[in-house]
Amino acid sequence: MNAPAPLALAQAEDCAPVLKERGQREVFCGLTGIIWLHRKMQDAFFLVVGSRTCAHLLQSAAGVMIFAEPRFATAIMEERDLAGLADANEELDRIVDQLLARRPEIKTLFLVGSCPSEVTKLERAKAATRLGAKHAPQVRILNYSGSGIETTFTEGEDACLASLVPVMPTLAGDAPKNLIIVGSLPDIVEDQFRRLFAELGIANVASLPERAVADLPGIGSNSSFLLAQPFLGDTAQALEERGARRLEALFPFGVEGTTSWLYAAAQEFEVDERHFDDVVRPYRERATTALAHHRERLQGRSIFFMPDSQLEVPLARFLANELGMTLTEVGTPYLHRTHMVQELAALPAGVMLSEGQDVDRQLDRVRATKPDLTVCGLGLANPLEAEGRSTKWAIELVFSPIHGFDQAGDLAELFARPLRRRDVLRV
């Protein structure tokens, strides 16, 4: 094979005009990220300072998946906190004490802001400093906002990881080069990538986040990083501000994306081209075989992405280029142009992109264009199914291992399953 051709990096114009919408949105807020983040970082606890709504959101989005005692909770604000009858800071301190006494194994506590805490200007950062001083060195207190007025769904992870960047250890200017994989990945995927990098001869690899916050990777001017997720704008900026360099690549979905992503690292670490080819060839072949099973079902079928996680553009590129699907509309809550340069260039020409949302108008377009498959949130899936449209829950794409060569087949299967089901049912 050939190394992936560097895609048109300096493309001046969009591949197609982007429809920008501002209307009613049907997406989760950033608090939702806690549902996977609290499983990823096993020494961390997430305390949302919010309302009963925030607590209810977390519980509804989590559903029955994690009824084991979770490492998150909500400090529910009450009338007396708002009316100034109780000093909100004192209340928060009391709750944190109570929590830390109950869960002595917590090493890092994230204070997570919500709409109510942000609107009432509860001083989250100050509270974190105050509580941090009180509970050091046993517990480190960090903070970020996952509020719905500031963050959409996966942007909560972005805010969380960005809050970790300032506490990453500083590496000396002459430290050897290191690579940081940025974005929380399922453990199995993370391990696969680590093995691949080792095979390529890139030894100095760490992740943000690691499975324990205590093991945060070091960062310095010899650090470079690969974004494993497309929604990490603030985190990338914070890493760059600390001197690390972002490696430009497609996101690691499918054969094409994963190859490009690994290749970017290989170049940075001066891996021999031939060695690179030799290492990735068996993985590429394996993944290609796995995809072939699904191509037959997906080829020529059309797909419509409602905005949800910012994964839409890379996934659309994968489905179009590797499985032959037709893109009816690719909606994304936010289009990070700098991080998407290669992805946008790799999309088929003339794809309809939309940014933001006006849910009712978008549903009108779904009904008018009649895609074979609509990727949408949990609130919309059954109503669309009842209208006779096949759907794929977008949230599953965030909760399942879908990155890398060995998950490419599983990723295709996620899209193929609803269509297969429609074909087999006679009821």
Partner 1 sequence: MQLSVWTYEGPPHVGAMRVATAMEGVHYLLHSPQGDTYADLLFTMIERKAKRPPVTYTTFQARDLGKDTSQLFQTAALDIVGRFKPDAMIVGASCTAELIQDDPAGLIENMGLPIPVIPLELPSYQRKEHWGAAETFYQIVRHLADKDRRPSDKATRRPLVNLLGPTALGFRHRDDIAEITGLLGNLSIDVNVTAPLGAAVADIAKLGEADFNIVLYPETGDLAADYLKRTFGQPAVRTVPIGVGATQDFIREVAELAGVDSEPMLREGLSRMSWWSRSIDSNYLTGKRVFIFGDATHAVAAARIASEELGFKVVGLGCYNREYARDIRAAAKLYGVEPLITDDHLAVEQAIQDAQPELVLGTQMERHIAKRFAIPCTVISSPVHVQDFPARFSPQMGFEGANVIFDSWVHPLVMGLEEHLLTMFRDDFEFHDAAGASHLGHQILPDTGRGTSVTAGGVPSASSNAGVTTLVPLHHPADGSPPRAGEELWSPEAEAELKKIPFFVRGKARKNTELFAAERGVATIELATLYEAKAHYAR
- Is 322 a residue that touches partner 1 (CB under 8 A)? no
Secondary structure (DSSP) of 77-139: --HHHHTTSS-HHHHHHHHHHHHHHH-TT--EEEEEE-HHHHHTT--HHHHHHHHHHHHTTT-
Query: Scanning residues 32 to 61, which ones bind ligand SF4 (CB under 6 A)?
Result: 50-51, 53-54, 57
Query: Using CB under 6 A, which of 18, 31, 298, 384 touches ligand SF4?
Result: 31
| In the complex, minimum distance from the CB of residue 119 to partner 1, in angstroms, rounded to a whole number | 5
Q: Which residue, 54 or 408, is less far from partner 1 as judged by CB?
A: 54
Strand (E) or helix (H) holding 48: strand 44-50
The answer to whether 315 touches 346, Cβ cutoff 8 Å, is no
Q: Which residue, 260 or 357, is less far from ligand SF4 as judged by CB?
A: 357
Alpha-carbon 133 to chain mean position: 31
The residue count for binding partner 1 (CB under 8 A) is: 71
Q: Which residue, 145 or 192, is less far from partner 1 as judged by CB?
A: 145
CA distance 376 to 306: 5
- Is 386 a residue that touches partner 1 (CB under 8 A)? yes
| In the complex, minimum distance from the CB of residue 115 to partner 1, in angstroms, rounded to a whole number | 4
Closest CA to 62 of 101, 93, 34, 99: 34
Query: Using CB under 6 A, which of 29, 96, 315, 384 touches ligand SF4?
Result: 29
Q: Which residue is nearest to ligand SF4 (CB)?
A: 148
Stretch that binds partner 1, among 9-17, 95-103, 191-199, 289-297 (CB under 8 A): 95-103
Query: Scanning residues 326 to 385, which ones bind ligand SF4 (CB under 6 A)?
Result: none
| In the complex, minimum distance from the CB of residue 74 to ligand SF4, in angstroms, rounded to a whole number | 9
- Is 36 a residue that touches partner 1 (CB under 8 A)? no
- Is 156 a residue that touches ligand SF4 (CB under 6 A)? no
Q: Which residue, 53 or 204, is less far from ligand SF4 as judged by CB?
A: 53
- Is 143 a residue that touches partner 1 (CB under 8 A)? no
CA distance 55 to 286: 43
- Is 71 a residue that touches partner 1 (CB under 8 A)? yes
- Is 70 a residue that touches partner 1 (CB under 8 A)? yes
Tokens describing residue 10: 């300096």
CA distance 418 to 396: 13
The answer to whether 80 touches 148, Cβ cutoff 8 Å, is no
Rg of the chain, C-alpha, whole Å: 22
Secondary structure (DSSP) of 203-265: --EEEES-SSGGGPPPB-TTEEEEESSTT-HHHHHHHHHTT-EEPP---S-HHHHHHHHHHHH
- Is 362 a residue that touches partner 1 (CB under 8 A)? no
- Is 380 a residue that touches partner 1 (CB under 8 A)? yes
Question: Which spans of this chain sit near ligand SF4 (rule: CB under 6 A)?
Answer: 29, 31, 50-51, 53-54, 57, 114-116, 147-148
